[in-house]
Each structure stands twice: as C-alpha cells, then as structure tokens.
Amino acid sequence: MKIITERKMRFIYLLFLLFIFIFIFGSSVREYYRLGFREHKFEVLKTGWQRILPDGSKKKLGSSEEMVLIKDLLIERQLPSEVPYSLTTLYIKTMHQDLTIWIDEKPIYQFDYQDIPPFNSKIPPLYWVRIPIQKDQLGSTIRIEFRGRARSVENTLEGMYFGEDLSIVCEILWKNILQIFSSLCLIFMGIGLLVEYLILDRRRGEEKGSFYLGAVLFFLGLWMGCQIDARQLIFNNILLIWNMEYLSLIMIPIPALLFINKVERGNCQRGIYWLCLSIALCDFLIIVSAGVGLYSFAELNLLIDCILLLTCFAIARSFVVIRWRDPDLFKDLTWMIGAGSTLISFSCIELVSFFLNGYENQGRFLSVGSVIFAFQMIHMQSMEYDKVRNEKNKLEVAEKVQSEFLANMSHEIRTPINTVIGMNEMILRESHDDVVLGYARNIQVSGESLLSLVNDILDFSRIESSGIKLVPKPYELANLLHELSNTARFRAEWKNLRFSVIVDEDTPAVLFGDVFRVREVLVNLLDNAIKYTDTGTVTLTVTFKSLPVEEKKFSFNEEDANVSPEDREEQPPANAVPVELQFAVKDTGLGISEKDQKLVFQKFQRVHSGWRKNIQGTGLGLPITKYLTKLMHGRIELKSALGEGSCFTAYIPQYRLNDESIGNFEDRYKKQKGVGNGFNKGFIASDAKILVVDDNELNLQLVKNLLKRTEVQIDVAYSGEECLEKLATGTYDIVYLDHMMAGMNGEETLEKIREQAIENRYGKPIPVIAFSSNVYLFESHKDGSSKFDAYLLKPVDGNELDKSLYTFLPENLIRKRSNEEYFEAEMKKHTISEKEDKEKLLDREIGLAYCMQDESVYQEILTLFKENSTEKQKELEDAFSSFDYAKYRLYSHGLKTTSLTVGAVLLSENAKKMEYAAKRVVEGVEKEEAIQYIRYNHSAFIRLYNKTVEEASKYLEP
C-alpha cells in the first residue's frame, strides 16, 4: 500500500472544497431562480424621460445627452399603468447628490446630505434611495430632481430600477458579485494568514511575513468591499462603510512595508522603519482631523493618495537597493515583482475602463487583479515556506547525523582522556616528590577541564539529537549539598575566595527527583561563579516553598524541553508533596552588563571574552543549565550588574517524601554516613576476588593500581567472551564490566551472565558493575529487564571504586583499617619535603626583588628573619603542643609571608599548607584529616625551618 503523503492529502482536501463550493453555488442559483431572480421582475427606467429646463420648457432626453455631465437635473415621466408584479418599488442610485421626488406634483420624498459628526461626511457617498409605489400611483407622472455633483444622464438613468424588491436587490448584488467575491476572498485569505501566524509561526518562534501579508490582504479586501455599489444593501450603516473605505486604505502601507522588510531580510530596514513612523503619524492626524470635523476623509483624499504613492516608491526603491546589494536575494524575490506587476496591470486596466465606461465596470478589473495578486503572493509564500522547511529539514538531518556521530565517538574520545587522568591519580597517590606532585596536579586540573569541555559538547549533542530523559528517584538533599560544598570549596579556596553554603533548616531532607540533573545544574552555576570571580565570596543559598497539592503533576513542556511524550518521567509516590527548591548562587565577580545578559543562555556565547581571554570554556554550560532547569519544569533567573557580581537563581520543582527537615546539612550528612563510612578510612579485602573486564589494557592496569591498597585479588578479561569463560571456570565476588567493548559489549555480556544465572561464592547472583564514559548509561536500563547493579563513570574515581567494592563485597571479606593505619598510609604523600644540603633553600633573586634590589636592605631583612627564628619556632611548638590550632594558623601565616620576603620559597609554600590545614581544623571542615596532617608534618616543617635559618646564617657570614 502506497504511503499517503501530505501533498496527496492537500489535493484531496482541495477537491473536497471545490465540491462544496459547487454545491453551495448551485443551491444559491436555484434559490434565486425560485424567487424570481432570473424572471427579472423589474425593469430599468431608461426611456420615456423628459428634462425640464430652467425656463419650464420640456425636452426629451436623447442619446446625444446621455454622456453629458449635468450638475442639476430635473426630469419626469409617466409610471407604467400596469405591471405584472404584486409589489412595486422604485430604486434610484445617487452619486453625491441631493434628491427630491414628486408624484402628480405632490412631493413624496426628499433626501439631503448633511454633515454627521463624528467623522463628518462633507461629500456624501453613493446611496440607493428606495421609494415604495402604491397601486393607485401607477400611471401617474413622477418628477425627480438631482442636485449637487455633476453626473451624466446615462449613469443617472441606468440607476433607476422599478419592480419587486427582492428581484431588484438580487440584480444589484449579481452585478457586483465579482467584486463581492473578490473582496471576501481577500478578507478570508488575510484572516487565514493572520491565524496561521498566531497558531503556527508565532508558536514556533518564526516570522516569515505571513502576519504582515495577512494584514495587507485583509485591509485590501475591506477597502474593495467598501467600494462596491451594493454595499448599502449588505450593510445598513452607509456612513460607517464610507469611513471604512478610507480607514482600510490608510492601514495598508505600514504592513506592506514591513512585509517587504521581512522578505528582503532587513536590507532597507532603517529607511522603511522611518517611513512607517511617518505614515503612522500622518494616519493619526488624518483620523483626528476627520473625527473633530476639521477635514473629512474625502477632502484629505489627495494626502492619502500621496501616502500610497510614497509607499509604492519606497517598495520599488528597496528592490533597486537589493538588486545592487544582494543579487542572489533579488533573484529569489522576482516572484514578488511578478505579483506586483499583475496588480499594477489590472489597476491600469481599471483606470482605462473608468475613463471609457464611467462607473459601468467599477472595480471589476481591480477585483480580478487583486485576487490573482493575492493567490500569487500566497502561492509564492507557500513556496518560500516549503523552501525554508526543506532547508530546515536538511539542517536537522545534518545536525542529527553530527550529534549521533559525536555520541557514538564519545567512548573513543573520552577513553584516552580517562586513562591519562586515572594514571595521573596514581602519581598523586604514590609520588612523594613535591615537584612531580606539582606537575601531576597541573595535569589533573587540565585533564578535568578537558573532560568537562568534551562532556559539555557531548551533552549538547545529545540534547540536539534526541533530548534527555529524566530519571527521578528518592535522594538525600544533605548528601548533594555536602558533595557540592566540598568540590566548590576546594576550587574557591584555591583562588583565595570565601565560599559558604546557607541552607534554610526547614528545607525538606528527603526528596524525589532527578538528583543527577539537579547536581549538574548547580555544578554549572558554581563553576561559573568561581571561574569569573577573582576576589570576594561565592555563596550558595538554598530555600524552598510549598506548592499547591493540585500542582502535583507538573505540566510537561514539550516545546521547551524537546522531549517526546513517551519519554515523560516517572510519577512520584502517592504520598509525595510538591515543593519548589530555590538555589541562589551569588558571587562578587565581574558581573554581566544588561546587554550581555541576553546572551549568557545562548549556545556558544561567552561574555567578558575580551577581558578574560585566559578563561576557558565552550559557552555551553549555561545553555545546558537552562535546558535542564526547564526539563525539570523549573526556571532560572539572573540578576547582575557590571562590576558588582551576579546572582543566578534556579527554581526547581521536586517532591518531599516525608516531614523531615534538613536542619544542619553537614550534621545530617555525617549522621547518615556514619554507619557505612568505613571505606573512607580504607579497608583490606585480601580474601575477595573480582573480575575486571575491559578491552583496553591501560584501563585494566589503572583499576589494579587503584585497588592496590585494598589487597583484593584481581583477575582480568579482555572481552565479553573471555569474561564468560572465566566465570564458567572460576568463582568471583564482583564483576567490573566495561560497557562498550569490541565484539560482545557490556550489555550483551550482562544478559548472558543473567541468563546463565552465574552466582558468587555464597550462591547469590553475582554483582555486575559497569564502567562507562556515558553518563546516561543507567537511563537505557531504567525500564529494561536486565540492568547493572551499579555504574562507575570514567575516568574511574578511586574513592568511588573503593565505595563500590566496599558496598558489594560480603562483610566477612572486609577488614576496616584503623585510624593509625589509614593516616600512616595516606599521609606519606603529604610529607613535607626537606631539600638535600646541596640544594639551596634561599633564592637570593626573589629576596632582592622584595627588597627593591638593594643588597643592604636584603641582608637587614635576612638578619631579622634569623634573629626572630628562635621565638617563632617556640610559638609554633607551643601552639602545636597545646592543640591551639587558631594560633598555629596565625603563626604559620606570618612565617609564610616573612619567608617569602627573604626568598625562602619552599618554606613559604609549606607554611601555607600548614596554615590551610589549621584553618580547616578551626572551621571544622574535615577536621580529623587536617589534624592528622599537622601532626604528621609538624616535625619536618620545623626541621625545614631550621635548615632555612642555617642557610641564612651562612649567607650573612663575612
């Protein structure tokens, strides 16, 4: 069966419309025929008239006078004595004239045009006068006097109908049917384009000129409708129609110019905008003038014609400009020239017809030309739509192919980065050389920045290609805030910034939502704040507000989030209560100017790039943040001023699962993690055996090194097939499985493991943990029958790896390390390095730089450093022995400054480390670890101080 396309459906629909039109037209004709329309139950009183001259004499109206313009005309004739009609009426068409009628010299009707405020009609319009004729008046003499505007006898006599009302009205309407049909066509086409804009273009954020073209066609049709002879028979208020004729006419130029500006892509925008402003001012003055009775529309007809002429000139000029500026665009717009030529041609024909036949064919040629023009414009507009749609489809296909390519390449892109970062972590763990550790830290920072950039690009490609699916689940807000606080605090304090987290203690503790997406939003905002702040503070403030219960099912915004209906997230538990979390990230950084605030949420846009060229980034962080916020049915706001910092506030709806409040989030975190925190101090699992599966040998070596301190037994496999073979012949406690491998990938291997019901040594299904660079791995298994027990993102984090091992190994296979064992192992890498004697601890060049290159000043400062050393060492020893870490921090800070002044760089750097550790003890952040660091390194620190003083003494010797 052939597929029914949109084009075929459109053709069928047009045939259906044609059938309906024929049916309606046929029905209408038959109805008119039954009512006597075709029987012509009337006659046109064109003959038998005599003109009464001013001297009272009478003269028969002949053909020689029919085309002569006569200002005041008095005529008479005898009415028919017998008529085959049941009712008789006389219709007389006047053209800006007063009218008086006598029958048998008895006045029966008088019509005088008067000014009717508001909007005075000083020159009256065409008007049909209806005179009922009684049976006893048949055969009588009727005399009619026309006064006012000059008019030919021919036009006067052709406008006299005598007969039945309905038949006369139908005849007048039929003579004007072409103009009526044309007017209605233009009006409805204009309304159709306006509706299309409101329903489709505006919703899509596209403006292709349909709004302005619709307005032009609507007002053009309205003007034509007000021009027809039968307008009075359709609408009673002839004065309103007369005014509408001019009002619709002056409303055409502005949308016409704006439509030209839209299709010409703004090439002549400045001139067109100024002209539109001038026309709007003139239109306002014209309407006010007519409203107060100063000048009528008809008296301002010349000004209106000038405005229309100026509009045509501006349109022609814009095409000339486009011809020279953009020849390719001019070629694309030739269809408009053709449509305009059609309208101009029929207008010229209409003008010639008026001069040859007067009002006989008034508006007919212009009606036909206008309809053809309208159909041409709509057809060409639809062709433009099709062209734009095709181009858009091509771009969408290209973008989708590109996004899918990036998504498929994510494993290959991130695998070497992950390996570098993982191996570098081994250097950080095992090296005791400060120089090597410094290099390794730089590699770590750069590697993480590179991975962040790659992740941003891949995340955005996923958004562009298929959208992101929410995976809500219960989570502890305290855990999230603790993780964010530790990460952001480290980065902030590295830049000497003060970082704080302020949490409303009544904020719900246990929530339901996609914690991964919430974390991603906050990480992006915090990273952005720290990146663009050099001095001052960065603050994360967390508050909340309750939402009405009826809003429990948050509305899903497909257009903003680009997520298909089948990907809607799971609904919360029945007892969940909706709340709105408010995360405000405030900084004292550079700030953002008002004009740049419109750019920060646009992709690939970065502000301050001219000032801060050293700041790296793709310009995707904030757009992704806004996307994720909208995906969670929230919003994000920005308040900022240049030089005063910024405040980004994310409003994210979530669900609270119970009545618990978070209180002090750090205390709650410690309480929640107190039971299962043994792996943080380290553990030994020498009896456990695990299988690590990866097709990259470097990754296997990295996992071995990371788990070295746990003493776990590790076996490796290089493919899914080898993994199944080893599981069939051996017993393992956990399987770590790479998700993307050549041949049988991780997911297929997992399915085989579950099908074969492979168990651990205790007869339970063996835990399978996935390694993957794809952060969305768990989404693909959310609704599946097979799933991993856990997943670890690459680059593999040592703590996360230890945590997974600690979680999934049976308790009897784990022995926790004591605090002494933990600190003995962990603090080795933080040992303060004491230089060999052959290496100098004083850098004379640095010391002289701080002493204005004056040797005498340098020696004086160095002497003071030496003489005060005994007292300073005693202060440090006393503070250390009395556990007064506040004083220890103060003394370390002072030594950091003075030692750098004399060129003792190594001593200054280590004093900074000791100061930082003491600061963490005082602030209660990882207090136990900081105390152990000071205890482990204090003696080496004092020895380094003594060696530096000894080198200073040797330098000062004569």
| Whole-angstrom distance, CA of residue 444 vs CA of residue 798 | 14
Q: Is 188 or 38 the better-scoring residue by pLDDT?
A: 188
CA distances from 523 to 16, 197, 481, 538, 781 (A): 58, 40, 11, 13, 25
Residues 862 and 791 occupy one common structural domain: no
With a cut of 70, say whether residue 429 has pLDDT above it: no
Q: Is 600 or 759 the better-scoring residue by pLDDT?
A: 759
**For the domain that residue 763 is a member of, what is the CATH number?**
3.40.50.2300
Q: What Rg value do the Cα atoms of the chain yield, rounded? A: 45
C-beta atoms surrounding 894 within 10 Å: 16
According to DSSP, residue 600 is labeled T
| Whole-angstrom distance, CA of residue 257 vs CA of residue 250 | 13
Percentage of the chain exceeding pLDDT 70: 71
| Whole-angstrom distance, CA of residue 826 vs CA of residue 764 | 35
Residues 627 and 720 occupy one common structural domain: no
CA distances from 574 to 472, 549, 571, 658, 791 (A): 14, 11, 9, 12, 29
Residues 230 and 152 occupy one common structural domain: no
Q: What does the pLDDT average to over 263-268?
A: 72
C-beta atoms surrounding 416 within 10 Å: 11
Q: How crowded is the C-beta side of 603, counted as CA atoms within 13 Å?
A: 9
Q: Is 35 or 630 the better-scoring residue by pLDDT?
A: 630
The tokens describing 698, both together, are 């470097």
Q: What is the pLDDT of residues 681-711, one digit of tens each?
A: 578 888 899 999 988 887 888 888 888 888 8
Residues 169 and 184 occupy one common structural domain: no
Residues 327 and 275 occupy one common structural domain: yes
Query: Closest by alpha carbon to 101, among 77, 85, 126, 82?
Result: 77
| Whole-angstrom distance, CA of residue 162 vs CA of residue 87 | 10
List for the chain the helix, strand, coil content (%; round to 5): 55, 15, 30
**For the domain that residue 859 is a member of, what is the CATH number?**
1.20.120
Written as one letter, the residue type at 793 is L
Q: Is 531 or 344 the better-scoring residue by pLDDT?
A: 531
Structure confidence at residue 846 (pLDDT): 85
Structure confidence at residue 837 (pLDDT): 45
> Before 327, cis peptide (omega within 30)?
no
Percentage of the chain exceeding pLDDT 90: 7
Residue 108, beta-bridge partner list: none
C-beta atoms surrounding 435 within 10 Å: 9
Q: Pick left, alpha or beta for residue 221 (phi over 0 → left; psi -120 to 50 → alpha; otherwise beta).
A: alpha
Residues 919 and 858 occupy one common structural domain: yes
With a cut of 80, say whether residue 910 has pLDDT above it: yes
Query: Closest by alpha carbon to 499, among 517, 513, 481?
Result: 481
H-state helical runs in 713-811? 720-729, 746-755, 777-780, 798-808
Domain assignment of residue 694, yes or no:
yes
Residue 511, beta-bridge partner list: 475, 656
Q: What does the pLDDT average to over 266-286?
A: 82
With a cut of 90, say whether residue 818 has pLDDT above it: no
Q: Pick left, alpha or beta for residue 105 (phi over 0 → left; psi -120 to 50 → alpha; otherwise beta).
A: left
Q: Is 783 or 724 the better-scoring residue by pLDDT?
A: 724
Residues 811 and 892 occupy one common structural domain: no
The tokens describing 428, both together, are 């950080």
**For the domain that residue 339 is a member of, what is the CATH number?**
1.20.1070
Domain assignment of residue 246, yes or no:
yes
- What is the residue range of 116's domain? 42-175
Structure confidence at residue 821 (pLDDT): 59
Are the C-beta atoms of 489 and 530 separated by less than 8 Å?
no
Q: Is 691 or 670 the better-scoring residue by pLDDT?
A: 691
Structure confidence at residue 735 (pLDDT): 93
| Whole-angstrom distance, CA of residue 15 vs CA of residue 21 | 10
H-state helical runs in 165-300? 165-175, 177-196, 202-204, 210-225, 231-234, 238-250, 253-263, 269-292
Residue 652, beta-bridge partner list: 581
Residues 13 and 146 occupy one common structural domain: no
Domain count of the fold of the chain: 6
**For the domain that residue 96 is a member of, what is the CATH number?**
2.60.120
Domain stop point among 610, 639, 673:
673
Q: What does the pLDDT average to over 166-191?
A: 79
Domain assignment of residue 413, yes or no:
no
Name the range with the highest mean pLDDT among 246-255, 425-434, 720-729, 842-851: 720-729
Picking from 296-300, 353-357, 519-523, 626-630, which range would have the lowest pLDDT averaged per residue? 353-357
Q: What residue has token string 């502005």?
A: 254
Q: Is 241 or 90 the better-scoring residue by pLDDT?
A: 90
| Whole-angstrom distance, CA of residue 103 vs CA of residue 236 | 27
Name the range with the highest mean pLDDT among 552-566, 576-590, 740-754: 576-590
Name the range with the highest mean pLDDT among 389-393, 474-478, 681-685: 474-478
Q: What is the pLDDT of residues 113-142, one digit of tens each?
A: 654 444 444 444 567 888 888 888 888 899
With a cut of 90, say whether residue 462 has pLDDT above it: no
Q: Is 243 or 876 the better-scoring residue by pLDDT?
A: 876
Query: Closest by alpha carbon to 587, among 621, 523, 539?
Result: 539
The tokens describing 349, both together, are 């024909």
Domain assignment of residue 897, yes or no:
yes
Instruction: Tell me how far apart the terminal alpha carbons of the chain are, to the nearest angstrom.
Output: 106
CA distances from 676 to 475, 680, 682, 797, 821 (A): 17, 9, 12, 18, 18
Are the C-beta atoms of 870 and 882 separated by less than 8 Å?
no
Q: How far is CA 448 from the centre of its chain?
A: 29
- Axis-axis angle for helices 621-631, 515-531 (nearest 10): 150
Confidence of residue 206 (pLDDT cuts 50, 70, 90): low
CA distances from 211 to 300, 311, 336, 382, 516 (A): 29, 18, 17, 14, 43
Domain assignment of residue 880, yes or no:
yes
| Whole-angstrom distance, CA of residue 55 vs CA of residue 787 | 113
Residue 426 φ/ψ, nearest 5 degrees: -65, -35
The tokens describing 293, both together, are 């009775």
Q: What is the pLDDT of residues 288-299, one digit of tens each?
A: 887 777 777 767
CA distances from 496 to 528, 530, 647, 743, 904 (A): 16, 10, 20, 50, 21
Using a 10 angstrom Cβ sphere, with 0-12 exposed, 13-18 middle and 19 or more buried, the burial of residue 385 is: middle
Structure confidence at residue 460 (pLDDT): 63
Domain assignment of residue 462, yes or no:
no
Domain assignment of residue 809, yes or no:
yes
Residues 836 and 929 occupy one common structural domain: yes
The tokens describing 921, both together, are 């003890």
| Whole-angstrom distance, CA of residue 26 vs CA of residue 403 | 57
Are the C-beta atoms of 419 and 698 separated by less than 8 Å?
yes
| Whole-angstrom distance, CA of residue 104 vs CA of residue 541 | 98
Q: What is the pLDDT of residues 315-342, one digit of tens each?
A: 777 777 877 877 777 776 676 666 667 6
Residues 7 and 50 occupy one common structural domain: no
Domain stop point among 754, 785, 820:
820
Strands in 783-868 per DSSP E: 790-793, 815-816
| Whole-angstrom distance, CA of residue 863 vs CA of residue 861 | 5
Picking from 129-138, 146-155, 343-352, 682-691, which range would have the lowest pLDDT averaged per residue? 343-352
> Maximum Cα–Cα distance for the chain, whole Å?
150
- Axis-axis angle for helices 927-956, 885-901 (nearest 10): 30
Number of helices (H) and strands (E), helices first, in the chain? 32, 26
Residues 887 and 777 occupy one common structural domain: no
Structure confidence at residue 714 (pLDDT): 92
Domain assignment of residue 275, yes or no:
yes
With a cut of 50, say whether residue 677 has pLDDT above it: no
| Whole-angstrom distance, CA of residue 343 vs CA of residue 371 | 9
Residues 667 and 686 occupy one common structural domain: no
Element (DSSP H or E) covering residue 319: helix 301-325
Average pLDDT score over the chain: 76
Q: What is the pTM of this model?
A: 0.42
Domain stop point among 799, 820, 841:
820
